[in-house]
Amino acid sequence: MIKILIVEDERPISFLIEMNLTSRGYDCSCVDDGLKAADLLLENSYDLILLDIMLPGADGFELMEQIRPTGTPVIFITARGSVEDRVQGLRAGADDYLVKPFEIVELIARVESVLRRACKTEERYEIDDVIVEPKSMLVTKKGKPVTLTHKEYELLLLFLRNRNIALFRDKIYERVWEGEYLADSRTVDLHVQRLRRKLGWQKRLIAIYKVGYRLEV
């Protein structure tokens, strides 16, 4: 299981991050002080660190001095959003930089992206009798291959990477079809219907009135 350390002194933010990442199968630990984080880094190894900059005890840049030699990927999550701050963070060795306030969907996407670049993504997803193996792009149900179109597969991955999150139709369309969503378009709905039928997920892919869809796991 992928281990993520969340170093954030604002408890509501760290709780929100932990809740959403845990629901996706990540093993999360939280700490609200730079010195406590430094102790944890000496005692444990992590696959990813989500790091605030302004922390009591030791700030994020000081912690980066300890983290950098380990090669552990880091995403700075901070209210400091100027260009100078971003440049400083990336030059300090961070793999990404996210400014507060942020949408949880964007955080999840950045976490997935950094883990993929670091070759630390989960090798497969398993829900009920459906298994998805991203490395081989293989989808099976009850051990038998499921034939999906390219867009159906991309849509499936989007739901898997955002489990238990309500996704708006326009955001789904923009992420999968990479274009501007038209309000009267039925493209997303038709592809969701096909996924439900092929995977038997009528009770998993839930429609949310006037919003979009959520994969419940």
Domain containing 94: what range?
3-117
The yes-or-no verdict on residue 129 having pLDDT over 80 is yes
Residue at a domain's end among 117, 151, 171: 117
What CATH number has the domain bearing residue 131? Answer: 1.10.10.10
pLDDT of residue 123: 62
The mean pLDDT value of the chain amounts to: 88
pLDDT tens, residue by residue, 192-207: 999 999 999 999 999 9
Task: Classify residue 200 as left (phi > 0), alpha (psi -120 to 50) or beta.
Answer: left
| Domains contained in the chain, number | 2
The residue assigned the tokens 């997803």 is 125
The answer to whether 95 touches 117, Cβ cutoff 8 Å, is yes
The yes-or-no verdict on residue 148 having pLDDT over 80 is yes
Q: Which of 59, 102, 57 is nearest to 77 (CA)?
A: 102
CA angle 156, 100, 68 (to 5 degrees): 85
pLDDT of residue 202: 94
pLDDT tens, residue by residue, 43-67: 888 999 999 999 998 889 999 999 9
What CATH number has the domain bearing residue 16? Answer: 3.40.50.2300
The residue assigned the tokens 């670049």 is 117
